[in-house]
Structures are given as C-alpha cells and as structure tokens.
Structure 1
Amino acid sequence: MHPFKVVLVIEAELLQLWQWDVSRWLVSAGCRYLLAWGKDAGAWEESVDEASLEAADYEDAPEDQLVITTSHVDEDLDEVFWFAKNRAQHPLHDLRQTLILHIADAEQRDALEERYRQA
C-alpha cells in the first residue's frame, strides 16, 4: 500500500494485546499519520508510536518511515476529520489516502464517511 493517513475512531474497549497487534499492522501497512479520537485515544497514540519504534529496531527511523501521531481527546470528531483533510501533512509523503478505522460495537460506516466528506 502507499503511505496513508488513519483517523482512528475508538468507541469500544479492546484487549491491550489486540490494540498492539492493530498498531503494528497499521505501521507495517504504511500508516504515516495517525489521528486518534475517542476512548483511550492517548493509549492508542502511544501504542502506534511504540510500534513505529519497534519497526525501526528502536533506532531513528528513516524520515520516509516516520509515523506522526496525534490524539484528540477534547475535540469534536468533525474537527478531527477537518484537520485530517486540511492540515495533517507528512514532511515527505503526499498522503492522499485516508483510512477511517472505527472500533465500536456497532457499524457506522456510512455515517462516518458522510461526516468525513462534510468536514
């Protein structure tokens, strides 16, 4: 996959081991900018940071493998979507693809995609 952005919308609690597996998968799949929003957003930001370090064998990662992470605890989801579309940039990659990863008990794909389009 080409490098991409992820807006992580967390509305359910998960086992920590699963969170780490998802974080590693995101980094290895090409996530280069993560915006975490919702339940435990700070913990998700940390786990993706850690997965990025792990992928570089705890050395300084080359700039093209840099993963920028942010957590948006006190912001409205629409503001996070707007920021992802208009301001979230990587120093080397033109991140044209954005993945909305929704972790919840109920699927809301259409509603989230519409909110993202409207942002």
Structure 2
Amino acid sequence: MVHTKYLPNKSLHRMAKTLRIFTAGELKSLSIKTMDYVRIKNNEELPDISKHKPFKCVVVIEQEIAPDWQVEVSNWLCSSGCMYMMAWGQDCSSWDDSVDQANIMQFQGEEIPDDSVVFTTWHEDEPLSEVFWFAKHTAHHESHDLKNTVVLHISVTEKSHQFKAEYANA
C-alpha cells in the first residue's frame, strides 16, 4: 500500500493513487516484444533461430531462389518454432503454400493439433511498412503468446538497420 499523505506534492499523490501492483502472470504478459533480423542468401546454410520459439516471422524475399531451397527454408521455419509466417516480396504467395505444406509434413498428413498450426499470410500488394505493422499489432496465434518476431531477409543486401527502424516505427 502506498501512503499518499507522506508524498510532497499533488502530482506524486495522483501518481501514487494510480499505482498498480501486478501479479507474476500479468508481468509476464507485459514483457517486451522483440524483433530479430536474420539475412540469408539463396542456398546458404540456415542458422539456428529456435531461441525465439514460438515466434512470428516476416519473410522478405528480395532474391530469386530455387524451389527446393524454398522447401528447405519452409521446413526449417516450422521446425524452428515459427507459428505465424507473413511473406512479402518476390513470389511471396508461393511461401504461403510452401510453409503450409511444411506444417502438414511435420505431422505426416495427419490432423495438426491447434497449438501446432502455423498461420500463413502473403502481402503481395502492400508496402513492407504495412506488413511490419500487421506483424507487430495484428498477427497473433490462438495457442501461443508470440512475443518474438524474426524478420527473415532473403537477399544479397544487408538491411538490418533499415528494417529494425521500420519495424520500430510500425
């Protein structure tokens, strides 16, 4: 309990009256959401991103890629803990299908449990800034609290600072 009669001014007095004590569960739900930038090139070895599990992933495709490598990346995303994938860029609609297929293959064609369904969207005619806004404010999973976002940039060009700034401003 905050004893407001001992506070030196009215502003502090008002702030103390609105002070709220949070439970551990409430604090956990208030924890900071993170964004990590990962750049890969066509046919490059895929890094371990499972530390972000469960996470949302914005796949930014700015390089032409081989279909078999797209399948490999889709499988890697699903096995690494991606629960919501948003694709933007070159041939982004194919990523919706390839990640859906990878999710189905994880369960060998059997019914996928609700907590294991990977949601997928593609954003063909939208600016990347709107995809970042969607990822940050709208994309959610019914079974997981997705605090971490991975921006997976498939490109020969590094844009870490640019994408981090755009995501922060979304």
Under TM normalisation by the shorter chain, which class is it? over 0.9
SS of the residue corresponding to residue 60 of structure 2 reads strand
Report the equivalent of 2:168. 117
Instruction: Identify the residue that residue 113 of structure 2 maps to in structure 1.
Output: 62
Q: Let me know the Cα RMSD of the aligned residues.
A: 0.7
Partner of 1:83: 134
Q: Distance in 1 between matches of 2:158 and 2:110?
A: 38
In the alignment, residue 31 of structure 1 is paired with which amino acid?
C
Larger Rg: 2
Runs of 4+ that moved beyond 3 A: none
> What is the alpha-carbon distance in structure 2 between the residues aligned to residue 76 and residue 63 of structure 1?
31
| Structure 2: unaligned runs, 5 residues or longer | 1-49
Does residue 99 of the first structure (1) align with residue 99 of the second (2)?
Answer: no
Q: For residue 87 of structure 1, what is the amino acid of its counterpart?
A: T
Equivalent in the alignment of 2:101 = 50
CA deviations 1:46-103 (Å, max 9, x no partner) are 1000000000111111111110000000001000000000000101100000000001
1:29 maps to: 80
Code of the residue aligned with 1:45 in structure 2: it is D
Number of aligned positions between the proteins = 119
Aligned equivalent of 2:36: none
What amino acid sits opposite 2:78 in the alignment? V
Which residues of structure 1 form unaligned runs of 5+? none
Look up the SS of the partner of 1:80 in the other structure: helix
* Residue 111 of structure 1: how far off its partner (Å): 0.7
AA matched with 2:131: V
Alpha-carbon distance, 1:104 to partner: 1.1
Match of 2:64 in 1: 13
